[in-house]
């Protein structure tokens, strides 16, 4: 019996080593100088022949390689390559589920409808096999957001090379996520109803319920707070402006109602998420200084008579209107597809936005919207040395081949289960 138990433990340890993510990189101890690369700073600026130096996890110098300045530490010759700030994926449930078909691995929502006190960060799995597939494409940070209900809970911003959620956290509980009621609903075909879209007869009732919840929360917060009510207390940040309210909503009427009613409820910092048809209410968003986290452009337009390429041009239209635009990942296969974040930004670049402005969607803009732009999002002196070197254009899947990446100055592994399989089978066919 003892021998069987020992063999079983050894088997589990062996399987654990196979399945577990690679060990996170240690804290930076030596300085680095990246010389000769084309540096895309993430704020629209480009330095053709750049010199970037960093130590102790922070960027110490950004300039031209022709400058007569002493190089720090290990010098990386990146001539002919490109340097980018680490990409930031907004609005993703990355690390909250591993296998969609296995219920036990899904932890992105909770039972109930009004759950502002639910914290997604404590469910974040830093050892997710999905998380490690982000890094080879330059996605080094993400906003981990909950799903489900009317008010889903709070999100947090993490870096993607960590032992656990405490190590991963860049900003804890950056905002509360709300799913705005649907203006239109589809008929239940299984009950003989017309499956087409029609006005949601419960729309106003849902808004009234939401309004009442906020009214009760404000009364509670203004009183003696007894008995203790965690959902009401969790709204204090969005009511006093210290937290953002991420409102997941699409459609002209839905966005208009969401902005108007949230302001009436006393919500200070509103962010529109998904934002289909946001360009139709650009003036309203601009007047209220409300940013938009767009979803992926690879979808059909909402309206039957809309231009086929309207979703692809949305970022350009909103940016030209003076609205701060970021890029999120909510939708089908969102966790696995998050690795393609730079290529979705590349699609917006191809439809009028241009490469450097498209790059800003997933660097500076996302950092500003998530409230982490003091430390990440651009390559600037004093900010975290979270950046990577690519052989070519990072927004093009044909040329975004990373050679080196750093998170807070730590040189991280770019290996994943997928890269190992790629190398394995590349060698197989090379030898035939």
Q: Above 90 in pLDDT, residue 422?
A: no
Q: Above 90 in pLDDT, residue 249?
A: yes
Give the CA angle between residues 381, 386, 392 to the nearest 5°.
105
Write down the mean pLDDT value for the chain: 91
CA distance 224 to 237: 18
| Both tokens assigned to 124 | 């974040």
Place of tokens 């970022």: 315
Give SS3 for 127. Answer: coil
Q: What residue segments make up the domains of the chain, in order of their start?
A: 19-86+377-432, 87-374
CA distance 258 to 260: 6
Do the beta carbons of residue 356 and residue 349 sit within 8 Å? no
Residue 96: per-residue pLDDT: 94
Q: Above 80 in pLDDT, residue 303?
A: no
Q: Above 80 in pLDDT, residue 407?
A: yes
65 contacts: CB under 8 Å, gap ≥ 6: 35, 36, 49, 50, 51
Which strands make up the sheet holding 74-77, listed edge to edge? 58-64, 50-55, 32-35, 74-77
pLDDT band at 4 (very low <50, low <70, confident <90, very high): low
| Both tokens assigned to 129 | 């096999």
Q: Residue 137 CB: number of other CB atoms within 10 A?
A: 23
Residue 432: per-residue pLDDT: 65
Closest CA to 133 of 310, 279, 308, 333: 333
Q: What pLDDT, in 10s, does the model give residues 153-192?
A: 999 999 999 999 999 999 999 999 999 999 988 777 777 7
Residue 355: per-residue pLDDT: 96
- The mean-pLDDT minimum among 3-7, 43-47, 353-357, 397-401 falls in 3-7
Q: What pLDDT, in 10s, does the model give residues 265-297?
A: 999 999 999 999 999 999 999 999 999 999 999
Q: What is the DSSP letter of 306?
A: S
Structural element, H or E, at residue 141: strand 139-144
Q: Tell me the CA end-to-end span of the chain in Å, nearest whole number.
A: 48
Considering the four listed CATH numbers 3.50.50.60, 3.20.20.140, 3.40.30.10, 3.40.640.10, the one that applies to the domain covering 87-374 is 3.20.20.140
Q: Above 80 in pLDDT, residue 254?
A: yes
| Both tokens assigned to 95 | 């690390």
Residue 169: per-residue pLDDT: 96
Q: E strands, 148-266, where?
A: 151-159, 169-179, 184-186, 197-199, 244-249
Residue 3: per-residue pLDDT: 61
Do the beta carbons of residue 21 and residue 160 sit within 8 Å? no
Question: Average pLDDT for residues 87-97, to the nearest whole number?
Answer: 95
Beta bridge partners of 76: 34
Question: Average pLDDT for residues 234-256, to the nearest whole number?
Answer: 95
Residue 265: per-residue pLDDT: 94
Question: Average pLDDT for residues 254-264, to the nearest whole number?
Answer: 96
| Both tokens assigned to 154 | 């709070």
CA distance 406 to 164: 18
Q: Above 70 in pLDDT, residue 101?
A: yes
Between the ranges 104-108, 169-173, 201-205, 420-424, where is the mean pLDDT highest? 169-173
Residue 339: per-residue pLDDT: 94
Could you give the percent of the chain with pLDDT greater than 70? 95
Q: What share of the chain is helix, strand, coil (3-state, %, to 5)?
A: 35, 25, 40
Question: Average pLDDT for residues 65-86, to the nearest whole number?
Answer: 95
Place of tokens 């010389």: 35
Question: Average pLDDT for residues 43-62, to the nearest whole number?
Answer: 96
Q: What pLDDT, in 10s, does the model give residues 59-69?
A: 999 999 998 89
Q: Above 60 in pLDDT, residue 16?
A: no
Residue 13: per-residue pLDDT: 45
Q: What is the DSSP letter of 351?
A: I
Rg of the chain over CA atoms, in angstroms?
Answer: 23
19-86+377-432: which CATH topology? Urease, subunit C; domain 1 (2.30.40)
Q: Identify the sign of the CA torsion 194, 152, 90, 321.
A: positive
Q: Which residue has the higher pLDDT, 334 or 85?
A: 85
Q: What pLDDT, in 10s, does the model give residues 325-363?
A: 999 998 888 888 999 999 999 999 999 999 999 999 999
Do the beta carbons of residue 143 and residue 156 sit within 8 Å? yes
Distance (Å) of CA 150 to CA 29, 178, 207, 405: 46, 6, 10, 38
Q: Residue 98 CB: number of other CB atoms within 10 A?
A: 17
Place of tokens 């459609």: 251
CA distance 209 to 420: 51
Could you give the percent of the chain with pLDDT greater than 90? 76
Question: Average pLDDT for residues 245-251, to the nearest whole number?
Answer: 96
């Amino acid at each position: 019996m003892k021998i069987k138990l020992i063999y079983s433990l050894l088997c589990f340890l062996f399987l654990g080593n196979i399945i577990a993510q690679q060990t996170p990189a240690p804290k930076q101890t030596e300085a680095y100088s990246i010389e000769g690369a084309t540096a895309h700073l993430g704020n629209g600026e480009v330095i053709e022949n750049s010199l970037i130096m960093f130590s102790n996890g922070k960027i110490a110098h950004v300039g031209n390689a022709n400058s007569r300045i002493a190089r720090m530490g290990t010098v990386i010759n990146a001539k002919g390559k490109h340097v980018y700030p680490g990409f930031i994926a907004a609005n993703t449930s990355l690390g909250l589920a591993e296998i969609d078909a296995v219920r036990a691995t899904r932890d992105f929502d909770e039972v109930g409808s009004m759950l502002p006190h639910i914290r997604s960060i404590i469910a974040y799995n830093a050892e997710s096999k999905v998380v490690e597939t982000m890094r080879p494409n330059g996605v080094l940070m993400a906003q981990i957001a909950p799903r489900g209900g009317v008010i889903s809970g709070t999100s947090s911003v993490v870096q993607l090379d960590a032992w656990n959620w405490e190590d991963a956290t860049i900003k804890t509980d950056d905002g509360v996520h709300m799913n705005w009621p649907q203006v239109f609903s589809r008929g239940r075909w299984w009950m003989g109803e017309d499956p087409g879209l029609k006005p949601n007869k419960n729309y106003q009732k849902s808004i009234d319920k939401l309004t009442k919840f906020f009214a009760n929360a404000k009364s509670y917060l203004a009183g003696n707070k007894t008995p203790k009510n965690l959902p009401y207390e969790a709204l204090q940040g969005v009511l006093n402006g210290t937290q953002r309210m991420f409102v997941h909503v699409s459609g002209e009427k839905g966005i208009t109602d969401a902005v108007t009613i949230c302001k009436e409820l006393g919500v200070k910092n509103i962010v529109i998420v998904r934002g289909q048809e946001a360009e139709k209410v650009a003036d309203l968003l601009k007047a209220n200084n409300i940013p938009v986290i767009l979803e992926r452009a690879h979808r059909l337009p909402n309206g039957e008579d809309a231009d086929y390429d309207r979703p692809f041009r949305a970022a350009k239209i909103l940016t030209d209107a003076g609205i701060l635009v970021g890029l999120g990942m909510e939708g089908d296969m969102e966790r696995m597809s998050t690795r393609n974040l730079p290529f979705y930004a590349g699609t917006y670049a191809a439809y009028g936005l241009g490469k450097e402005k498209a790059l800003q969607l997933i660097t500076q803009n996302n950092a500003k919207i998530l409230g982490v732009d003091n430390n990440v999002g651009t390559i600037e002196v004093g900010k975290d040395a979270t950046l990577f070197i690519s052989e070519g254009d990072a927004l093009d899947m044909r040329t975004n081949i990373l050679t080196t990446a750093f998170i807070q100055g730590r040189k991280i592994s770019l290996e994943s289960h997928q890269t190992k399989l790629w190398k394995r089978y590349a060698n197989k066919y090379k030898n035939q």
